[in-house]
Amino acid sequence: LNNLLEVLFLWQGGMSFHGGAIGVFIASIIFANKNKIKTLVLTDIISCVATIGIFLGRIANFINGELYGKKTFSNYGIVFPKVDMEPRHPSQLYEAFFEGLLLFLLLNLILKYKKKLFNGELSCYFLIFYSTFRIISEIFREPDQHIGYVILNLSLGTCISLCFLIF
């Protein structure tokens, strides 16, 4: 609260998905009201295509060697030289697959084959599936160093995803 402008200093940390999702929802309410569109119809459309951005963002995380996974002895471990020379889970690729590609396919299949959807239903499916996939992915992901585990050995991403899932 002392330095509100620092929220815009993305080069000093980055942006969490959860904060971005809340921001998109607030912007959707404002946009929908201004343009006389139903907010939940708009969020349903956004939910179907947001997964493309999530997929590309996770691929960028992998290329940048950030948000890497926990150490592993499996054959598919990846060495991230900026971190150490130990093989680690490519958790960014797991997230790209589940939160990006698979979620995109699920939402678009629901849209195509479910006979009648209520306004906001796709948004609900998005939150349910994204949160579930994120919680699973967090098992393999190293928690942020400056945060660590917050409650009961759960990462902040897991805790916030549980809140989104309950919502």
Over residues 61-86, the pLDDT tens digits come to 899 988 889 999 988 899 999 889 99
Token pair of 148 as six digits: 């660590």
Percent above pLDDT 90 for the chain: 56
| Residue 15 predicted with pLDDT over 70 | no
CB neighbourhood size of 54 (10 A)? 22
CB neighbourhood size of 102 (10 A)? 15
The pTM assigned to this predicted structure is 0.84
Average pLDDT over residues 136-145: 85
Q: What is the pLDDT of residue 163?
A: 85
Report the distance separating Cα 159 and Cα 148, nearest Å: 12
Question: Which of 95, 104, 103, 108 lies closest to 136 in space, CA to CA?
Answer: 95
Q: What is the pLDDT of residue 8?
A: 66
**Contacts within 8 Å (CB) and 24+ apart, 65-69:** 66/92, 67/91, 67/92, 67/95, 67/141, 67/142, 68/92, 68/141, 68/142, 69/94, 69/140, 69/141, 69/142
Token pair of 60 as six digits: 């960028």
Q: What is the pLDDT of residue 11?
A: 61
User: For 24-56, how does the pLDDT look when each residue is reduced to its tens digit (9 = 90+)?
Assistant: 899 999 999 999 999 999 999 999 999 999 999
